[in-house]
Amino acid sequence: MGREQWKKILVGSAGNMVEWFDWFVYASFATYFAGAFFPDGNPTAQLMNTAGIFAVGFFMRPVGGWLLGRVGDRKGRKAALTLTVTLMSASAVLIAIAPTYAVAGYGGAVVLLIARLLQGLSVGGEYAASATYLTEASDPSRRGFASSFQYVSMTAGQIVGLGLQIVLQRTLSDDALHSWGWRVPFIIGALGAAIIFYLRRNMLETDVYEESADDAGADQKGTLKALWAHRREAFLVMALTMGGTVAYYTYTTYLTKYLSNSAGLSKETATLVSFCALIVFACIQPLAGRLSDRIGRRPLLITFAVGSTFLTVPIMTMLKHAGSFWPALGLALLALVVVTGYTSINACVKAELFPTGIRALGVALPYAIANALFGGTAEYVALWFKDAGLESGFYWYVAGCAAVSLIVYLTMRETKDIDLNRVADPAPEARPAGVA
């Protein structure tokens, strides 16, 4: 890839990293601020309250997907990406200054809820805008490689968040972290978002989008009517997302809580396990993305689904009894290697299903709906099963979601050779099976 393409990818990825840093630090620091916004009581119940607010953010993602997807298709990928980071910065500021239960009763929880709604709105558009931007900005023969940087940057945001948590755990007392230290990452996130806002204001638009600017039917770009014409592709996006998003959030945002709240590891050890596992996970994304450029997307998706369907129950069961750092790290790495078959390429697979004029909305809305139903609720479902004394039921739930997606992967056709410059429906023989 040329220098200009690398610049587009790096700027897009840097912004994505800050967006997801802000999104994930809520989950990683929830064990410290759960008690700040709700009355004293059962720690699991407090975590369920904060997890519920975390899930509510996901239910704003379809709204963000529709609104910002429309902006991305009508005004450009750059405009959508700039707007998403603005919303994320505002939400980070709100969380950083939110009053505690002791100061304002449930008023602090209301502020927290509003901030998560804004974050959901932002991330609902960020995923599709960045997926579309990274896919369109790359060489056609390296779309899998380029789009893999979406999850590299997403994971990097989480790694930075966990790294900051480790630093704070080692420099502040436990009381200080519960009292005020948890606010630090949200302040940093707001500052980082302000920097990315400047960078995105000066980023370059993709050639694919610019070439479609004067196409006939421009008034239909980014509309629900245009999306309805591609409803089969939209339903395919939802179905292929289902298993991947549940598995991803299980082994990333929920893993630290699971290791400390169920496996009995200290918060510090659980955080370190997640931190180390995610570093390896981020590094292997481009390798898997590049592999998909050679052998296709379907083999990786199928490998993920088979592995997640049959390995989730034993991996989660063994994690609960891991007992120490190294066994927990080994199992976490195994799980994340399996998940890589989905995460490394799902962005480009979805973008490859739609023509340019509806690509951002086509990726955004169905993906956001699937995440609201499955990804955003994964942690809450896990804690519900635990609170009901049926924790192993969650393992089967994750495996079942992967099995549903496996059926989709087995029946869809390869997408890696589709021309992104098409502006009309592809010929029937060029459409993926299942969307004909």
Tokens 């060489």, residue located: 139
pLDDT at 1: 62
Q: What is the pLDDT of residues 210-244, one digit of tens each?
A: 887 666 566 788 899 999 999 999 999 999 999 99
pLDDT beyond 60 at 372: yes
Q: What is the pLDDT of residues 102-113, one digit of tens each?
A: 777 778 788 888
Work out the average pLDDT over 373-377: 85
Q: What is the pTM of this model?
A: 0.85
3-state DSSP assignment of residue 157: helix
Joined tokens for residue 97: 């200054």
Amino acid at 250: T
Which CB contacts under 8 angstroms, 24+ apart, belong to 148-151? 148/285, 148/286, 148/288, 148/289, 148/290, 148/344, 148/345, 148/347, 149/9, 149/12, 149/13, 149/285, 149/286, 149/289, 150/13, 150/16, 150/347, 151/282, 151/285, 151/343, 151/344, 151/347
Start-to-end CA distance of the chain, whole Å, equals 33
pLDDT at 202: 81
- Of 167-171, 202-206, 306-310, 381-385, least confident by mean pLDDT is 202-206
Average pLDDT, rounded, for the chain: 87
3-state DSSP assignment of residue 25: helix
Query: What is the 3-state composition of the chain as percent helix, strand, coil, each rounded to the nearest 5?
Result: 80, 0, 20
pLDDT at 161: 86
pLDDT beyond 70 at 424: no
Work out the average pLDDT over 384-411: 96
pLDDT at 430: 39
- Of 23-37, 105-119, 273-287, 307-321, least confident by mean pLDDT is 23-37
Q: What is the pLDDT of residues 304-343, one digit of tens each?
A: 999 999 999 999 999 999 999 999 999 999 999 999 999 9
User: Rounded to whole angstroms, how far apart are CA atoms 70 and 80?
Assistant: 9
Q: Minimal CA–CA distance to 198: which of 89, 110, 123? A: 89
Q: Minimal CA–CA distance to 375: which of 385, 387, 367? A: 367
242-367-375-92 Cα dihedral, nearest 10 degrees? 170
Contact indicator for 309, 403 with CB cutoff of 8 Å: yes
Tokens 């998909």, residue located: 292
DSSP string computed for 52-77: HHHHHHHHTHHHHHHHHHHHHHHT-H
The CB density around residue 325, as the number of other CB atoms within 10 Å, is 17
Contact indicator for 181, 165 with CB cutoff of 8 Å: no
Q: Is 99 left (phi over 0), alpha (psi -120 to 50) or beta?
A: beta
